[in-house]
Amino acid sequence: MAIDLKVNGQVHTLDVEPDTPLLWVLRDELGLTGTKFGCGVAACGACTVHLDGEAVRSCVTPVSTVAGKEIVTIEGLGAGGLTDVQKAWITHQVPQCGYCQSGMVMAVAALLKTNPHPSDADLQAAVTNICRCGSYPRIRAAVRELAGKA
Amino acid sequence: MTTRRMVLLGGVAAGGALIVGYALWPSHRRERENALAAGPDERFVSNWIKIANDGIVTVIVPHCDMGTGNITALTQMAAEELDADWSQMRGEQAPPDPLFANGALAEGFILSGQNIGYGQVPAFLRGLVGNSFRTIAEYKNLQITGGSSAVRFTGVYGMRVTGAAVREMLVMAASARWNVSPDACRTEKGRVFHGGKSFGYGELAAEAAAYTPSDNPVLKSPDKYTIVGRPVPRFDVPAKVNGTAQYGIDVRVPGMLYAALRIAPVFGAKLASVDSVAAEKMRGVSKVVKLDDAVVVVADRFWRAKNAVESLAPVWRKSGNEDETSARITAKRDALLKSGPVKSDVKTGAGADALAKGKLVEAQYSVPYLAHAQMEPVNATALFKDGTLEVWSGTQDGLGARAYCAEVAKLPLEKVTFHQLQMGGGFGRRLPGYFNFLRYAAQTAMAMPGLPVKLLFTREEDMQHDYYRPNVISCFRAALDGKGAPLAWVNDYTTEDDPNPEAHIVYDIPNQAIGAAKLTTSIPTGPWRSVEASWHGFFIESFVDELAHADGADPYAYRRTLLAQRPRHRAVLELAAQQAGWGTALPKGRARGIALFESFQTIVAEVAEVEVDDKGALTVHRVTAAVDAGTTVNPDGLRAQVEGGIIFGLGAVLNGAISIDKGRVMQANFPDYEMVKLADCPQIEVHLSNSDGPYGGGGEPGVPPLAPAITNAIFAATGARIRDLPVRGQDLVAAITHPPQKQTSG
Ligand code: FES
Ligand code: FES
Cβ–Cβ gap A35/B243 under 8 Å: yes
Q: How many helices (H) and strands (E) does chain B have?
A: 20, 29
Same domain? For A60 and A103 the reply is no
Q: How many domains would you assign to chain A? A: 2
Cβ–Cβ gap B239/A125 under 8 Å: no
Angle between helices B436-446 and B398-409 (to 10 degrees): 40
Residue A21: CB within 6 Å of ligand 1? no
Indicate whether A17 pLDDT > 50: yes
Give the minimum alpha-carbon distance from B246 to chain A in angstroms, rounded to a whole number. 8
Lowest-confidence range among B112-116, B470-474, B651-655, B726-730?
Answer: B112-116
Residue range A109-135, pLDDT digits in tens? 999 999 999 999 999 999 999 999 999
Residue range B559-611, pLDDT digits in tens? 999 999 999 999 999 999 999 999 999 999 999 999 999 998 899 999 999 99
Indicate whether B216 pLDDT > 90: no
Instruction: Indicate which of A29, A57, A97, A136 best probes the interface with B, i.e. most B CBs within 10 Å of its own CB.
Output: A97
Ligand 2 centroid to A132 CA: how many Å? 5
pLDDT of residue B125: 33
Strand B602-612 vs strand B590-599: parallel, antiparallel, or unpaired?
antiparallel
Same domain? For A69 and A100 the reply is no
Residue range B335-394, pLDDT digits in tens? 999 887 899 999 999 999 999 999 999 999 999 999 999 999 999 999 999 999 999 999
Across B12-36, average pLDDT: 39
pLDDT > 70: percent of chain B: 83
pLDDT of residue B737: 53
How confident is residue B108, by pLDDT bands cut at 50, 70 and 90?
Answer: very low
- How far from B307 is each of A144, B284, B447, CA to CA, in Å? 42, 11, 20
Same domain? For A10 and A69 the reply is yes
Residue B69: CB within 6 Å of ligand 2? no
pLDDT of residue B143: 28
| Ligand with an atom nearest the CA of residue A44 | 1
Ligand 1 centroid to B268 CA: how many Å? 30
Considering only CB atoms, which chain A residues are within 8 Å of B236? Answer: 95, 98
How confident is residue B115, by pLDDT bands cut at 50, 70 and 90?
Answer: very low
Residue range B293-330, pLDDT digits in tens? 999 999 999 999 999 999 999 999 999 999 999 999 99
pLDDT of residue B744: 40
Q: Is the peptide bond before B726 cis (omega within 30 degrees of 0)?
A: yes
What domains are defined for chain B?
4-228 (3.30.365.10), 248-319+378-456 (3.30.365.10), 328-369+468-737 (3.30.365.10)
Chains A, B: CB pairs < 8 Å: 181
Across B442-451, average pLDDT: 98
Region of B433 on the Ramachandran plot (φ > 0 left; ψ -120 to 50 alpha; else beta): left
Nearest CA, atom 3, ligand 1: A42
Which B residues 627-646 touch A at CB under 8 Å?
636-637, 640-641, 643-646
Across B151-167, average pLDDT: 76
φ, ψ of residue B718 in degrees (nearest 5)? -125, -20
Q: Does B425 touch chain A (CB under 8 A)?
A: yes
Residue range B688-697, pLDDT digits in tens? 998 888 778 8
pLDDT of residue B483: 85
What length is written for chain B?
A: 746
Indicate whether B272 pLDDT > 60: yes
Cβ–Cβ gap A93/B233 under 8 Å: yes
Name beta bridge partners: B628: B603
SS3 content of chain A, % helix, strand, coil (to 5): 40, 15, 45
How confident is residue B699, by pLDDT bands cut at 50, 70 and 90?
Answer: confident
Angle between helices A84-91 and A136-146 (to 10 degrees): 130
Same domain? For A6 and A73 the reply is yes
Indicate whether A12 pLDDT > 90: yes
Give the C-alpha separation, B393 to B374, whole Å: 15
Q: Does A95 touch chain B (CB under 8 A)?
A: yes
Kindly report the CATH number assigned to the domain that includes residue A69. 3.10.20.30
Residue range A45-67, pLDDT digits in tens? 999 999 999 999 999 999 999 99
Name beta bridge partners: A54: A51
Instruction: Tell me the residue type at B11.
Output: G
pLDDT of residue B406: 92
pLDDT of residue B741: 43
Domain-terminating residue out of A40, A57, A77: A77
Same domain? For A92 and A140 the reply is yes
Highest-scoring range by mean pLDDT, B2-16, B133-147, B421-435, B671-685: B671-685
Ligand 1 centroid to B419 CA: how many Å? 27
Same domain? For A50 and A109 the reply is no
- Strands lying side by side in the sheet with B511-518: B343-348, B511-518, B486-495, B472-480, B359-367
> Which of B615, B560, B567 shows the shortest CA–CA distance to B583?
B560
pLDDT of residue A150: 67
Q: Does B310 touch chain A (CB under 8 A)?
A: no
Residue range B481-537, pLDDT digits in tens? 988 889 999 999 999 988 999 999 999 999 999 999 999 999 999 999 999 999 999
How confident is residue B149, by pLDDT bands cut at 50, 70 and 90?
Answer: low
Same domain? For A72 and A17 the reply is yes
Give the C-alpha separation, B639 to A59, whole Å: 33
Range of the domain at A66: 2-77
Q: Does B374 touch chain A (CB under 8 A)?
A: yes
How confident is residue B155, by pLDDT bands cut at 50, 70 and 90?
Answer: low
Indicate whether B106 pLDDT > 80: no
Terminal-residue alpha carbon distance, chain B: 47
Same domain? For A26 and A70 the reply is yes
pLDDT of residue B6: 23
Strand B388-393 vs strand B416-420: parallel, antiparallel, or unpaired?
parallel
Give the C-alpha separation, A110 to A126, whole Å: 9
Which A residues 2-31 touch B at CB under 8 Å?
16-17, 20-21, 24, 27-29, 31
Indicate whether B9 pLDDT > 80: no
Kindly report the CATH number assigned to the domain that includes residue A119. 1.10.150.120
> Which of B51, B39, B37 shows the shortest CA–CA distance to B88?
B51
User: Does residue B316 sit in helix, strand or coil?
Assistant: strand
Residue range B614-650, pLDDT digits in tens? 899 999 999 999 999 998 889 999 999 999 999 999 9
Instruction: Tell me the residue type at B404.
Output: Y
Domain-terminating residue out of A44, A77, A110: A77
Indicate whether B259 pLDDT > 60: yes
Q: How many CB atoms lie within 10 A of CB B738?
A: 9
8-state DSSP, B155: I
Same domain? For A28 and A67 the reply is yes
pLDDT of residue B32: 58
Buried b (16+ CB within 10 A) or exposed e, B440-461: bbbbbbbbbeebbbbbbbbbbb
Whole-complex ipTM: 0.98
Considering only CB atoms, which chain A residues are within 8 Å of B239? Answer: 98
Give the minimum alpha-carbon distance from B185 to chain A in angstroms, rounded to a whole number. 38
Write down the H helix ranges in B448-593.
459-464, 531-550, 555-562, 567-580
Give the C-alpha separation, B712 to B553, whole Å: 14
Give the C-alpha separation, B686 to B643, whole Å: 7
pLDDT of residue B144: 39
Contact assessment for residue B615 and residue B562, using Cβ atoms and an 8 Å cutoff:
no
Give the C-alpha separation, A5 to A117, whole Å: 32
Give the C-alpha separation, B285 to B690, whole Å: 58
How confident is residue B459, by pLDDT bands cut at 50, 70 and 90?
Answer: very high
Indicate whether B92 pLDDT > 70: yes
Same domain? For A62 and A99 the reply is no
Q: Please list, in sequence order, all residues whose beta carbon lies within 8 angstroms of the beta carbon of residue B291, skipping any fewer than 6 positions away.
A: B271, B440, B443, B444
Residue A98: CB within 6 Å of ligand 2? yes
Across A131-142, average pLDDT: 98
Instruction: Tell me the residue type at B450.
Output: G
pLDDT of residue B27: 43
Q: Does A61 touch chain B (CB under 8 A)?
A: no
Indicate whether B738 pLDDT > 60: no
Terminal-residue alpha carbon distance, chain A: 50
- How far from B31 is each of B34, B52, B130, CA to CA, in Å? 5, 15, 18
Measured from the Cα of A133, ligand 2's closest atom is: 2
Contact assessment for residue B180 and residue B44, using Cβ atoms and an 8 Å cutoff:
no
- How far from B184 is each of B178, B181, B196, CA to CA, in Å? 10, 5, 12
Give the C-alpha separation, B258 to B260, whole Å: 7
Write down the H helix ranges in B235-348.
277-280, 302-311, 326-339
Indicate whether B450 pLDDT > 80: yes
Indicate whether B12 pLDDT > 60: no
Give the sign of the dihedral formed by CA B219, CA B221, CA B222, CA B224: negative
Same domain? For A142 and A90 the reply is yes
Q: Does B675 touch chain A (CB under 8 A)?
A: yes
Domain-terminating residue out of A77, A103, A135: A77
pLDDT of residue B735: 60
Same domain? For A33 and A92 the reply is no
How confident is residue B192, by pLDDT bands cut at 50, 70 and 90?
Answer: very high
- How far from B572 is each of B566, B605, B705, B723, CA to CA, in Å? 10, 6, 12, 25
Q: What DSSP letter does each residue of B57-90 carry, written as one string?
A: EEEEESS--SSS-HHHHHHHHHHHHHT--GGGEE
| Ligand with an atom nearest the CA of residue A39 | 1
Indicate whether B16 pLDDT > 50: no
Q: Is the peptide bond before B740 cis (omega within 30 degrees of 0)?
A: no
Instruction: Give the containing element (helix H, strand E) for A106.
Output: helix A101-114
Indicate whether B475 pLDDT > 50: yes
Name beta bridge partners: B61: B93
Indicate the residue of A29, A41, A123 with minimum beta-carbon distance to B671: A41
Q: Please list, in sequence order, all residues whose beta carbon lies within 8 angstroms of the beta carbon of residue A76, skipping any fewer than 6 positions away.
A: A7, A8, A9
